Amino acid sequence: MKIASWNVNSLNVRLPHLLDWLGQARPDIVALQETKLEDAKFPAQALADAGYRCVFAGQKTYNGVAILWRDGEARDVQAGIPGFDDPQARVLAASIGNLRVIDLYVVNGQAVGSEKYDYKLRWLAAVHDWIAAERERHPNLIVLGDFNIAPDDRDVHDPAVWNDDSILTSTAERAALRDLFDLGLCDSFRLFESEGGQFSWWDYRAAGFRRNLGLRIDLVLAGDALRSRLTGAGIDREPRTWERPSDHAPVWLELANG
């Protein structure tokens, strides 16, 4: 089973890319972020024609998350963080088969010390508490998405630039991410790849992709109960080479049947 995540940076613009990639990669479950579409405009029929069912939570212009899958039904669908008042469409969860899938589009935070940074840390704390409860109910847990945090210095192209004072790599953000790992979630990519210089996001400016000036901020985390079933994980750079691409590449893991 292949499970993937992709920040498409506008599904309206990137739908042809998504359909092409679904046809090539054939993932069983895909989480999307930054769909930037109101629910009434979500292309559910086009995805159904490609063989995928979907649930989604969107808003105009900003944010937006969706989960696509090939087989079965989605159960216990949850949009937003329970008990956390937030109008932004950043969180979606669904049970598919024997898996609980949580799709996150983590707050960017703008700059260390800003109001948006404080909001990011509060948001992450609320996500942590919710996922802790979800893990008790659903041991077969997958948490994936655009985390807007690079886990460590291997995940940035220049640690001198992306340091403790920088957004996406600050001490508090990385500590919040480690708190999620400590719930019994592993960074699937790091089970198979230990080297640095492998990224999932590159700035459109300054030839960022060509020069590999990137960050690894898109993650697929797997609960401890699934760890023995993991057979591979990676980053698919090819869609980033296409015309008018998202600034993110798809990331994925593979699970043995169980």
Residue pLDDT, tens place only, 221-256: 999 999 999 999 999 999 999 999 999 999 999 999
pTM given for the model: 0.98
Say whether pLDDT at 41 is over 90. Answer: yes
**How large is the average pLDDT for residues 180-193?**
98
Cα torsion 12, 16, 20, 21 to 10°: value is -30
Distance CA 133, CA 35 (A): 27
Sort 53 into a burial class: Cβ within 10 Å, 0-12 / 13-18 / 19+.
middle
The 3-class secondary structure across 77-136, one letter per residue, is EEECCCCCCCCCCCEEEEEECCEEEEEEECCCCCCCCCHHHHHHHHHHHHHHHHHHHHHH
Distance CA 130, CA 184 (A): 14
Q: Write out pLDDT tens, residues 111-131.
A: 999 999 999 999 999 999 999
Q: How far is CA 247 from the centre of its chain?
A: 13
To the question of domain 2-255 being in CATH 3.30.1330.40, the answer is no
Q: How confident is the model at residue 257 (pLDDT cuts 50, 70, 90)?
A: confident
Q: Write out pLDDT tens, residues 192-211.
A: 999 999 999 999 999 999 99
Active site residue 146: yes
The residue whose two tokens read 């105009």 is 60
Q: Where are the domains of the chain?
A: 2-255
Say whether pLDDT at 214 is over 90. Answer: yes
Supply 200's token pair: 């999932």
Catalytic residue among 146, 155, 187, 247: 146
DSSP of 136-167: HH-SSEEEEEE-S---SGGGBS-TTTS-TTST
Q: How high is the pLDDT of residue 258?
A: 72
Catalytic residue among 28, 52, 103, 105: 105
Through-space distance between the first and last CA atoms of the chain, rounded to whole angstroms: 10
Total residue length of the chain: 258
Q: How high is the pLDDT of residue 248?
A: 98
